[in-house]
Structure 1
């Protein structure tokens, strides 16, 4: 759910008198290759006659039937949410709560065609727990994620055990504490594009203790890549090894987690297969320099509520030698921040051209008087600034706890300074307008 919806739910469910409360919400479905995510998209607060508060809270059948019918008409599912005002951490179901949710599960499935989702809010620390009533017994979720300026995750320790801090992580843990480290380590993080920037990002995530890292890239290592792929060898280039294979090899060497997994996706994000794989992750790094995959990732950030950390380098040589201009940019795409199109990191007309195969077509470019997007200069020395900015965004989003990611940041090399780029959402933004659409997203892939 979004941070905004989380605030609205807390306001209703955590009563001043300390009693439990209850309400309904609708959800959309986001289906990955292996994971199904339920996106809470609207809160349906009860009317005066819709529930009874008596220490515990009882919901009325008429309320459930009415909202289930409306949800079905909108192509959405229904969720029941209640509070444990003094609870802390992941909450189990009491016999009373179990029987109450089960009594409505069949009704909701018959009306909406989707399972009833149950969520419990622990008032002591704000943690959520969740389950899906696919059958007569609940299937427990691995986690509940709240996405905004920070990524707040409530973990089901029974399914995703809390990792013990390793001696090799002592300096890392000292920066933000064991609790933040355990939360960050359990995230599934995808790096799209493992070139000069993405390769180093993947290695540093592994070194920081992240247990599950995915790398996605369809390219192979070539001799001309070796001045930027630090750790790749001439033998890798001679054998034309896949970049994801090289990234996986180096990430395993750098990993400090006791149990580390690196998953290789040797295909393009701009395919149904690529999008499905991306939807299995909690955070995505956008380390690509093409407009089409960036647009796909920007869409996923809103439709599927997966934070996307994007960065890039603008470097142009001077015709008479030296550098004409050089700057780096990094930003986190989450609800509340502008998408990559609204922040002018991508041009949607170039996305259309790339999808049509015209962005680098010599004949079209000559006729249109445009410059090719291929072969933009990039060097390891300047890439280090982008890498640092992306990892900084990741720490703020996941581990800093009291900080929040903000607007895009630009580092201007000639001035040796940073500045915040203030952008607003366009009035007709199709990406931010599809917030929480899930599987109803507008597809940008073939």
Structure 2
């Protein structure tokens, strides 16, 4: 049975009253310590609705990492009736399942549905209303289209639509307190209709072009500040329709407000780039006026995820109240983007104070055996591990398997097989003897 709606029958007549907007999800809705990609759509909504704002969205969150971290329970325990959660969950679940998707396998959606149901029910128990974003058509996401050939893109479209349909079913099940913001339709409109990108006399540039100010996308995954503003207006229209205020429609961002989020008077690329002389890992930057981009790093040792601590490279002994060329956030690495130097993953490990090369990761040396593999944006890296360039890279996966695991596994098989074979042979011989004996008795032998 669905959990009871947080709004009674009179709410439908009187409208919805809110005091707080809270966000849940990944870096589309949160995690921008530099303010480079914000304000986020949910913050715009809070300002337009004149309510408080809580940012619970964390860059890189999958549905299961959100649950494991208890971000939904944090909101449920501290907020209640009068709170509207705007939530976009699932983009990284899709990205993690990209190989399955291009093979037409969509079973991951069942697990995603299970996880989002846990999140929704936890929030509803605290009488919180929820506006769930579906995902954009993932076949348009530059991060994926750069990896997979064109003939594979329709699989992402199909998976995106399947997930959108599943969310509609979830919304119907729970009633008026769970509504859908159709991000797929909004993003399709922005990408395919020039008129939707016109602000006054200016046009916001659509993918595949990406830039830091006047484009919809700042990189392969994230909207720009003006992109967030455009999405905020789509979302506000959805809120006015599905969670109407008793005082009438909430306002949208004006053209002047949207234009202020871009810089149409500046030629793209005019931002000054600097050349670091000497050791790039010792250069320091004022994070309040520097430009960073996100890069996601996952490390797995013998099947166990190794967490990258937050704030590596931030406010260090060398760089007081500033950052190195890279510093870690809660789920991503912030990489300085306005320098001419070629940065490498190895620079980050150096700033971290950890070993990483073709011979070693942390305190484990490859000469002792073991296998080390690296994937860049989903593609296996075959170059020099001592100099992995990260220009434009969004996601890096490092996996190390020590030789002991492989040897133990082989030893277990070797130890168990003879015993099992002997047992099987003994059972077979006994069965043959028993069968022959039975025949002799039945035939009077």
TM over 0.5: no
Larger proportion of helix? 2
Normalised to the residue count of structure 1, the TM-score between the two structures is: 0.23
Normalised to the residue count of structure 2, the TM-score between the two structures is: 0.23
Larger proportion of strand? 1
